[in-house]
A and B are shown apart, each in its own frame.
Chain A
Protein backbone atom coordinates (compact mmCIF):
# COMPACT_ATOMS: atom_id res chain seq x y z
CA UNK A 1 0.00 0.00 0.00
CA UNK A 2 1.46 3.30 -0.98
CA UNK A 3 -1.13 5.27 0.95
CA UNK A 4 -3.19 4.30 3.97
CA UNK A 5 -5.80 6.64 5.38
CA UNK A 6 -6.91 5.41 8.78
CA UNK A 7 -9.96 6.81 10.54
CA UNK A 8 -9.21 10.31 9.31
CA UNK A 9 -11.05 13.19 10.96
CA UNK A 10 -10.92 16.71 9.57
CA UNK A 11 -12.78 19.45 11.38
CA UNK A 12 -13.55 23.00 10.31
CA UNK A 13 -14.39 25.57 12.97
CA UNK A 14 -17.17 27.75 11.66
CA UNK A 15 -19.21 30.52 13.17
CA UNK A 16 -22.06 28.07 13.67
CA UNK A 17 -20.05 25.27 15.20
CA UNK A 18 -17.53 22.65 14.20
CA UNK A 19 -18.16 21.00 10.85
CA UNK A 20 -16.82 17.47 10.74
CA UNK A 21 -16.07 17.37 7.04
CA UNK A 22 -14.29 14.05 7.29
CA UNK A 23 -15.48 11.94 10.17
CA UNK A 24 -13.70 8.64 10.40
CA UNK A 25 -12.80 7.82 6.81
CA UNK A 26 -10.47 4.92 6.04
CA UNK A 27 -9.22 3.71 2.69
CA UNK A 28 -6.05 2.45 1.07
CA UNK A 29 -4.29 3.02 -2.23
CA UNK A 30 -2.38 0.00 -3.53
CA UNK A 31 0.85 0.81 -5.27
CA UNK A 32 0.56 1.46 -8.97
CA UNK A 33 -3.24 1.51 -8.98
CA UNK A 34 -5.80 4.20 -9.67
CA UNK A 35 -8.30 4.61 -6.87
CA UNK A 36 -11.47 6.61 -7.47
CA UNK A 37 -12.82 8.63 -4.56
CA UNK A 38 -16.42 9.27 -5.41
CA UNK A 39 -19.35 11.02 -3.73
CA UNK A 40 -21.61 14.08 -3.81
CA UNK A 41 -20.21 17.53 -3.21
CA UNK A 42 -19.68 18.06 0.47
CA UNK A 43 -19.01 14.39 1.23
CA UNK A 44 -15.46 15.16 2.26
CA UNK A 45 -13.51 13.75 -0.65
CA UNK A 46 -11.78 17.00 -1.58
CA UNK A 47 -11.09 17.74 2.08
CA UNK A 48 -9.50 14.33 2.55
CA UNK A 49 -7.24 14.82 -0.42
CA UNK A 50 -6.24 18.34 0.67
CA UNK A 51 -5.48 16.96 4.10
CA UNK A 52 -3.07 14.52 2.52
CA UNK A 53 -1.34 17.46 0.83
CA UNK A 54 -1.44 19.33 4.10
CA UNK A 55 -3.18 22.40 2.73
CA UNK A 56 -6.35 22.79 4.71
CA UNK A 57 -7.94 26.21 5.07
CA UNK A 58 -7.05 28.34 8.09
CA UNK A 59 -9.98 27.06 10.11
CA UNK A 60 -9.42 23.41 9.31
CA UNK A 61 -7.40 20.87 11.18
CA UNK A 62 -6.83 17.16 11.37
CA UNK A 63 -8.63 16.17 14.52
CA UNK A 64 -7.89 12.47 14.46
CA UNK A 65 -6.75 9.48 12.47
CA UNK A 66 -3.57 8.83 10.55
CA UNK A 67 -2.26 9.25 7.06
CA UNK A 68 0.48 6.77 6.25
CA UNK A 69 2.51 7.20 3.10
CA UNK A 70 4.98 4.52 2.07
CA UNK A 71 4.79 3.15 5.55
CA UNK A 72 5.61 6.48 7.17
CA UNK A 73 3.11 8.40 9.28
CA UNK A 74 2.62 11.87 7.83
CA UNK A 75 3.17 14.69 10.24
CA UNK A 76 3.56 18.32 9.31
CA UNK A 77 7.29 18.15 8.70
CA UNK A 78 7.10 15.03 6.54
CA UNK A 79 4.20 16.46 4.57
CA UNK A 80 6.14 19.62 3.86
CA UNK A 81 9.16 17.65 2.77
CA UNK A 82 7.30 15.27 0.51
CA UNK A 83 5.05 17.89 -1.02
CA UNK A 84 5.20 17.75 -4.81
CA UNK A 85 8.37 15.71 -4.65
CA UNK A 86 6.55 12.50 -3.90
CA UNK A 87 2.88 13.44 -3.64
CA UNK A 88 1.50 15.84 -6.23
CA UNK A 89 -1.89 17.41 -6.95
CA UNK A 90 -3.85 17.97 -10.13
CA UNK A 91 -6.48 20.65 -9.55
CA UNK A 92 -10.01 20.85 -10.84
CA UNK A 93 -9.60 24.13 -12.59
CA UNK A 94 -6.14 24.80 -13.90
CA UNK A 95 -7.19 28.31 -14.85
CA UNK A 96 -7.42 29.48 -11.28
CA UNK A 97 -4.57 27.26 -10.13
CA UNK A 98 -1.95 28.94 -12.24
CA UNK A 99 -0.64 32.40 -11.58
CA UNK A 100 -2.05 34.55 -14.39
CA UNK A 101 0.90 36.91 -14.57
CA UNK A 102 3.60 34.33 -15.27
CA UNK A 103 3.99 32.08 -18.28
CA UNK A 104 3.19 28.42 -17.77
CA UNK A 105 6.75 27.54 -18.68
CA UNK A 106 8.21 29.82 -16.03
CA UNK A 107 5.93 28.31 -13.39
CA UNK A 108 7.06 24.86 -14.43
CA UNK A 109 10.69 25.92 -14.24
CA UNK A 110 10.01 27.48 -10.86
CA UNK A 111 8.93 24.15 -9.43
CA UNK A 112 11.81 22.31 -11.07
CA UNK A 113 14.48 24.70 -9.87
CA UNK A 114 13.15 25.63 -6.45
CA UNK A 115 11.80 22.27 -5.39
CA UNK A 116 13.67 19.92 -7.62
CA UNK A 117 17.06 21.58 -7.38
CA UNK A 118 17.63 21.41 -11.13
CA UNK A 119 19.70 24.01 -12.88
CA UNK A 120 17.83 26.36 -15.17
CA UNK A 121 19.08 24.68 -18.32
CA UNK A 122 18.18 21.22 -17.11
CA UNK A 123 14.83 22.55 -15.92
CA UNK A 124 14.11 24.01 -19.31
CA UNK A 125 14.91 20.75 -21.04
CA UNK A 126 12.82 18.85 -18.56
CA UNK A 127 9.81 21.15 -19.08
CA UNK A 128 9.95 20.38 -22.78
CA UNK A 129 9.94 16.68 -21.91
CA UNK A 130 7.01 17.11 -19.57
CA UNK A 131 4.96 18.96 -22.13
CA UNK A 132 5.77 16.25 -24.62
CA UNK A 133 4.61 13.65 -22.12
CA UNK A 134 1.15 15.21 -21.87
CA UNK A 135 0.89 15.98 -25.54
CA UNK A 136 1.54 19.71 -25.54
CA UNK A 137 3.66 21.61 -28.01
CA UNK A 138 6.81 23.01 -26.42
CA UNK A 139 6.14 26.43 -27.91
CA UNK A 140 3.24 26.69 -25.48
CA UNK A 141 5.69 26.99 -22.62
CA UNK A 142 5.98 30.70 -23.42
CA UNK A 143 2.25 31.26 -23.18
CA UNK A 144 0.21 32.56 -20.28
CA UNK A 145 -2.47 30.43 -18.60
CA UNK A 146 -5.37 32.36 -20.11
CA UNK A 147 -4.07 31.60 -23.60
CA UNK A 148 -4.63 27.87 -23.16
CA UNK A 149 -7.88 26.11 -23.85
CA UNK A 150 -9.50 24.13 -21.02
CA UNK A 151 -8.19 20.76 -22.08
CA UNK A 152 -4.71 22.08 -22.71
CA UNK A 153 -4.67 23.72 -19.31
CA UNK A 154 -5.46 20.44 -17.63
CA UNK A 155 -2.64 18.80 -19.56
CA UNK A 156 -0.33 21.53 -18.37
CA UNK A 157 -1.55 20.97 -14.79
CA UNK A 158 -0.78 17.26 -15.15
CA UNK A 159 2.66 18.08 -16.52
CA UNK A 160 3.19 20.39 -13.56
CA UNK A 161 2.17 17.62 -11.15
CA UNK A 162 4.54 15.10 -12.69
CA UNK A 163 7.48 17.51 -12.73
CA UNK A 164 9.33 15.97 -9.81
CA UNK A 165 8.34 12.39 -10.57
CA UNK A 166 6.04 11.81 -7.61
CA UNK A 167 4.93 8.33 -6.61
CA UNK A 168 1.40 9.44 -5.84
CA UNK A 169 -0.85 11.74 -7.80
CA UNK A 170 -3.97 13.24 -6.22
CA UNK A 171 -6.32 14.42 -8.94
CA UNK A 172 -9.21 16.52 -7.69
CA UNK A 173 -12.03 16.46 -10.23
CA UNK A 174 -9.49 16.88 -13.04
CA UNK A 175 -12.03 16.63 -15.85
CA UNK A 176 -15.19 18.05 -14.29
CA UNK A 177 -14.81 21.44 -15.91
CA UNK A 178 -14.31 20.04 -19.40
CA UNK A 179 -16.71 18.96 -22.08
CA UNK A 180 -17.22 15.26 -22.69
CA UNK A 181 -14.90 14.79 -25.65
CA UNK A 182 -12.04 16.59 -23.97
CA UNK A 183 -12.78 14.66 -20.79
CA UNK A 184 -12.07 11.40 -22.55
CA UNK A 185 -8.82 12.79 -23.95
CA UNK A 186 -7.56 13.89 -20.57
CA UNK A 187 -8.58 10.63 -18.94
CA UNK A 188 -6.67 8.78 -21.66
CA UNK A 189 -3.63 10.94 -20.98
CA UNK A 190 -3.88 10.06 -17.31
CA UNK A 191 -4.23 6.39 -18.07
CA UNK A 192 -1.27 6.24 -20.41
CA UNK A 193 0.87 8.21 -18.00
CA UNK A 194 -0.07 5.97 -15.17
CA UNK A 195 0.90 2.92 -17.15
CA UNK A 196 4.19 4.39 -18.36
CA UNK A 197 5.35 5.95 -15.13
CA UNK A 198 3.74 3.47 -12.75
CA UNK A 199 2.37 6.37 -10.72
CA UNK A 200 -0.29 5.59 -8.11
CA UNK A 201 -3.35 7.81 -8.33
CA UNK A 202 -6.29 8.96 -6.29
CA UNK A 203 -8.97 10.37 -8.57
CA UNK A 204 -11.58 12.44 -6.80
CA UNK A 205 -14.82 12.84 -8.69
CA UNK A 206 -18.58 12.96 -8.34
CA UNK A 207 -19.03 11.35 -11.74
CA UNK A 208 -19.25 7.59 -11.55
CA UNK A 209 -18.72 7.18 -15.28
CA UNK A 210 -15.24 8.67 -14.88
CA UNK A 211 -14.52 6.13 -12.18
CA UNK A 212 -15.78 3.35 -14.42
CA UNK A 213 -13.61 4.51 -17.27
CA UNK A 214 -10.34 4.98 -15.51
CA UNK A 215 -10.11 3.53 -12.05
CA UNK A 216 -9.05 0.16 -10.72
CA UNK A 217 -10.52 0.57 -7.25
CA UNK A 218 -13.31 2.76 -5.99
CA UNK A 219 -14.02 4.29 -2.60
CA UNK A 220 -17.49 5.71 -2.10
CA UNK A 221 -17.86 8.48 0.44
CA UNK A 222 -20.95 9.92 2.02
CA UNK A 223 -21.25 12.63 4.67
CA UNK A 224 -17.61 12.45 5.65
CA UNK A 225 -17.37 8.68 5.83
CA UNK A 226 -16.52 5.80 3.55
CA UNK A 227 -19.61 3.73 2.84
CA UNK A 228 -18.28 1.26 0.30
CA UNK A 229 -14.97 0.31 -1.28
CA UNK A 230 -13.62 -2.35 -3.57
CA UNK A 231 -12.58 -3.15 -7.12
CA UNK A 232 -14.39 -0.98 -9.65
CA UNK A 233 -16.01 -3.69 -11.74
CA UNK A 234 -17.21 -5.47 -8.63
CA UNK A 235 -18.63 -2.42 -6.86
CA UNK A 236 -20.38 -1.04 -9.90
CA UNK A 237 -21.80 -4.37 -11.03
CA UNK A 238 -22.78 -5.53 -7.56
CA UNK A 239 -23.00 -2.58 -5.21
CA UNK A 240 -23.60 -3.53 -1.61
CA UNK A 241 -24.47 -0.14 -0.09
CA UNK A 242 -27.81 1.55 -0.87
CA UNK A 243 -26.04 4.84 -1.57
CA UNK A 244 -23.85 3.27 -4.22
CA UNK A 245 -26.93 1.60 -5.65
CA UNK A 246 -28.57 5.00 -5.87
CA UNK A 247 -25.47 6.59 -7.40
CA UNK A 248 -25.33 3.99 -10.04
CA UNK A 249 -28.93 4.74 -10.96
CA UNK A 250 -28.00 8.36 -11.44
CA UNK A 251 -25.57 7.46 -14.22
CA UNK A 252 -27.42 4.97 -16.33
CA UNK A 253 -24.94 4.99 -19.18
CA UNK A 254 -22.96 2.43 -17.23
CA UNK A 255 -25.66 -0.16 -17.37
CA UNK A 256 -26.52 -1.91 -20.57
CA UNK A 257 -30.22 -1.58 -19.78
CA UNK A 258 -31.68 1.75 -20.67
CA UNK A 259 -32.94 2.92 -17.32
CA UNK A 260 -34.39 6.29 -16.49
CA UNK A 261 -32.40 8.67 -14.36
CA UNK A 262 -33.42 8.19 -10.77
CA UNK A 263 -32.10 10.82 -8.40
CA UNK A 264 -31.75 10.09 -4.73
CA UNK A 265 -34.27 12.28 -2.92
CA UNK A 266 -33.28 14.56 -0.08
CA UNK A 267 -29.88 16.00 0.71
CA UNK A 268 -26.84 15.12 2.82
CA UNK A 269 -26.92 15.85 6.54
CA UNK A 270 -25.51 18.97 8.14
CA UNK A 271 -22.03 18.01 9.27
CA UNK A 272 -22.13 20.46 12.12
CA UNK A 273 -24.77 18.43 13.89
CA UNK A 274 -23.76 15.43 15.93
CA UNK A 275 -24.66 12.32 13.98
CA UNK A 276 -24.89 8.73 15.05
CA UNK A 277 -25.26 5.52 13.21
CA UNK A 278 -25.59 5.34 9.47
CA UNK A 279 -25.89 8.80 7.98
CA UNK A 280 -27.74 7.71 4.91
CA UNK A 281 -30.82 6.72 6.93
CA UNK A 282 -33.00 9.78 6.05
CA UNK A 283 -32.63 9.05 2.34
CA UNK A 284 -32.33 5.30 2.34
CA UNK A 285 -35.32 3.29 1.09
CA UNK A 286 -34.13 0.27 3.04
CA UNK A 287 -33.49 1.91 6.41
CA UNK A 288 -34.47 0.07 9.57
CA UNK A 289 -34.50 1.24 13.19
CA UNK A 290 -31.23 -0.52 13.95
CA UNK A 291 -29.48 1.46 11.25
CA UNK A 292 -29.48 4.57 13.37
CA UNK A 293 -27.43 2.89 16.02
CA UNK A 294 -24.26 1.97 14.22
CA UNK A 295 -22.82 1.37 10.80
CA UNK A 296 -19.62 -0.58 10.77
CA UNK A 297 -17.82 -1.80 7.68
CA UNK A 298 -18.45 -5.40 6.81
CA UNK A 299 -17.66 -7.68 3.96
CA UNK A 300 -14.67 -9.62 2.74
CA UNK A 301 -11.37 -7.79 2.83
CA UNK A 302 -11.64 -6.74 -0.79
CA UNK A 303 -15.18 -5.45 -1.23
CA UNK A 304 -16.43 -3.66 1.88
CA UNK A 305 -19.69 -1.97 2.65
CA UNK A 306 -20.88 -0.02 5.67
CA UNK A 307 -24.44 -1.26 5.48
CA UNK A 308 -26.01 -3.35 8.26
CA UNK A 309 -28.11 -5.15 5.71
CA UNK A 310 -25.03 -6.23 3.79
CA UNK A 311 -26.22 -9.84 3.89
CA UNK A 312 -29.35 -8.94 1.94
CA UNK A 313 -27.35 -6.94 -0.61
CA UNK A 314 -28.53 -8.97 -3.59
CA UNK A 315 -32.23 -8.51 -2.77
CA UNK A 316 -31.81 -4.82 -2.05
CA UNK A 317 -29.87 -4.36 -5.25
CA UNK A 318 -32.69 -5.76 -7.34
CA UNK A 319 -35.18 -3.54 -5.55
CA UNK A 320 -32.88 -0.56 -6.08
CA UNK A 321 -33.09 -1.01 -9.83
CA UNK A 322 -36.80 -0.17 -9.68
CA UNK A 323 -37.32 3.63 -9.78
CA UNK A 324 -40.34 3.37 -7.51
CA UNK A 325 -38.13 2.23 -4.64
CA UNK A 326 -36.51 5.64 -4.58
CA UNK A 327 -39.65 7.63 -4.96
CA UNK A 328 -40.97 6.59 -1.62
CA UNK A 329 -38.54 6.59 1.28
CA UNK A 330 -38.75 3.74 3.75
CA UNK A 331 -41.43 4.15 6.41
CA UNK A 332 -38.73 4.32 9.04
CA UNK A 333 -36.84 7.04 7.29
CA UNK A 334 -39.95 9.21 7.20
CA UNK A 335 -40.31 9.19 10.99
Chain B
Protein backbone atom coordinates (compact mmCIF):
# COMPACT_ATOMS: atom_id res chain seq x y z
CA UNK B 1 0.00 0.00 0.00
CA UNK B 2 1.32 3.43 -0.91
CA UNK B 3 2.19 5.72 2.00
CA UNK B 4 -0.54 8.11 2.99
CA UNK B 5 0.20 11.83 3.03
CA UNK B 6 -1.88 14.62 4.52
CA UNK B 7 -2.69 18.29 4.21
CA UNK B 8 -3.25 20.88 6.92
CA UNK B 9 -6.87 21.10 5.75
CA UNK B 10 -7.40 17.46 6.75
CA UNK B 11 -7.35 15.74 3.36
CA UNK B 12 -5.33 12.58 2.82
CA UNK B 13 -3.85 11.22 -0.40
CA UNK B 14 -2.16 8.07 -1.63
CA UNK B 15 -0.01 8.08 -4.74
CA UNK B 16 0.39 5.25 -7.22
CA UNK B 17 2.53 6.47 -10.13
CA UNK B 18 0.56 9.40 -11.61
CA UNK B 19 -2.72 8.26 -9.93
CA UNK B 20 -3.66 10.03 -6.71
CA UNK B 21 -6.57 9.00 -4.47
CA UNK B 22 -7.98 11.67 -2.13
CA UNK B 23 -10.26 11.64 0.91
CA UNK B 24 -10.70 13.33 4.28
CA UNK B 25 -9.04 12.10 7.45
CA UNK B 26 -10.49 10.23 10.39
CA UNK B 27 -9.96 13.33 12.51
CA UNK B 28 -11.97 15.40 10.00
CA UNK B 29 -14.88 12.97 9.85
CA UNK B 30 -14.98 12.77 13.62
CA UNK B 31 -15.11 16.55 13.94
CA UNK B 32 -17.83 16.83 11.28
CA UNK B 33 -20.13 14.19 12.70
CA UNK B 34 -22.57 12.25 10.54
CA UNK B 35 -22.02 13.22 6.90
CA UNK B 36 -25.28 13.71 5.02
CA UNK B 37 -24.21 14.99 1.61
CA UNK B 38 -21.24 15.69 -0.64
CA UNK B 39 -21.26 18.27 -3.40
CA UNK B 40 -18.63 16.98 -5.84
CA UNK B 41 -17.43 17.90 -9.36
CA UNK B 42 -17.56 15.69 -12.44
CA UNK B 43 -14.66 13.65 -13.84
CA UNK B 44 -12.59 15.60 -16.34
CA UNK B 45 -12.45 18.79 -14.27
CA UNK B 46 -8.98 20.24 -13.81
CA UNK B 47 -7.88 21.25 -10.32
CA UNK B 48 -5.09 23.46 -9.01
CA UNK B 49 -3.28 22.79 -5.75
CA UNK B 50 -5.44 23.90 -2.81
CA UNK B 51 -8.38 24.69 -5.07
CA UNK B 52 -11.76 24.18 -3.36
CA UNK B 53 -13.44 21.42 -5.36
CA UNK B 54 -16.51 20.57 -3.33
CA UNK B 55 -18.37 20.57 -0.06
CA UNK B 56 -18.92 17.91 2.61
CA UNK B 57 -22.03 18.58 4.67
CA UNK B 58 -22.83 17.08 8.05
CA UNK B 59 -25.63 17.67 10.50
CA UNK B 60 -23.41 20.22 12.24
CA UNK B 61 -21.83 22.13 9.37
CA UNK B 62 -20.69 22.28 5.77
CA UNK B 63 -16.96 22.23 5.00
CA UNK B 64 -15.08 22.96 1.79
CA UNK B 65 -12.84 20.27 0.31
CA UNK B 66 -9.45 21.32 -1.07
CA UNK B 67 -7.38 19.50 -3.69
CA UNK B 68 -3.99 18.46 -2.31
CA UNK B 69 -2.47 18.29 -5.82
CA UNK B 70 -2.77 19.78 -9.30
CA UNK B 71 -4.27 17.49 -11.91
CA UNK B 72 -7.47 16.35 -13.56
CA UNK B 73 -10.22 14.29 -11.95
CA UNK B 74 -10.39 10.75 -13.36
CA UNK B 75 -13.02 9.36 -10.99
CA UNK B 76 -15.48 10.41 -8.31
CA UNK B 77 -16.70 7.88 -5.71
CA UNK B 78 -20.23 7.17 -6.94
CA UNK B 79 -21.16 5.29 -3.74
CA UNK B 80 -21.09 8.50 -1.68
CA UNK B 81 -24.31 9.84 -3.21
CA UNK B 82 -26.38 7.05 -1.66
CA UNK B 83 -24.01 6.32 1.24
CA UNK B 84 -22.40 9.50 2.53
CA UNK B 85 -21.89 7.71 5.86
CA UNK B 86 -18.93 5.85 4.28
CA UNK B 87 -16.93 9.00 4.98
CA UNK B 88 -17.51 8.37 8.70
CA UNK B 89 -17.24 4.59 8.77
CA UNK B 90 -14.30 4.09 6.38
CA UNK B 91 -12.60 7.44 5.63
CA UNK B 92 -9.41 5.85 4.24
CA UNK B 93 -11.05 2.97 2.36
CA UNK B 94 -14.54 2.90 0.88
CA UNK B 95 -14.95 6.57 1.84
CA UNK B 96 -12.40 7.76 -0.76
CA UNK B 97 -13.66 10.84 -2.58
CA UNK B 98 -11.69 11.54 -5.78
CA UNK B 99 -9.08 10.03 -8.04
CA UNK B 100 -6.86 12.58 -9.75
CA UNK B 101 -4.29 12.18 -12.52
CA UNK B 102 -1.33 14.17 -11.22
CA UNK B 103 0.05 16.98 -13.34
CA UNK B 104 3.52 18.16 -12.46
CA UNK B 105 5.14 17.25 -9.16
CA UNK B 106 3.65 16.52 -5.76
CA UNK B 107 3.66 19.63 -3.56
CA UNK B 108 6.66 19.66 -1.26
CA UNK B 109 4.67 20.66 1.84
CA UNK B 110 2.52 17.55 2.19
CA UNK B 111 2.63 16.15 5.72
CA UNK B 112 3.59 12.67 6.80
CA UNK B 113 1.64 10.76 9.45
CA UNK B 114 3.59 12.18 12.39
CA UNK B 115 3.42 15.78 11.18
CA UNK B 116 -0.32 15.50 10.49
CA UNK B 117 -0.94 14.04 13.94
CA UNK B 118 0.54 17.21 15.40
CA UNK B 119 -1.75 19.35 13.25
CA UNK B 120 -4.80 17.34 14.29
CA UNK B 121 -3.93 17.45 17.97
CA UNK B 122 -3.08 21.16 18.04
- Tell me whether A and B are bound partners: no
Residues of B whose CB lies within 8 Å of any CB of A are none
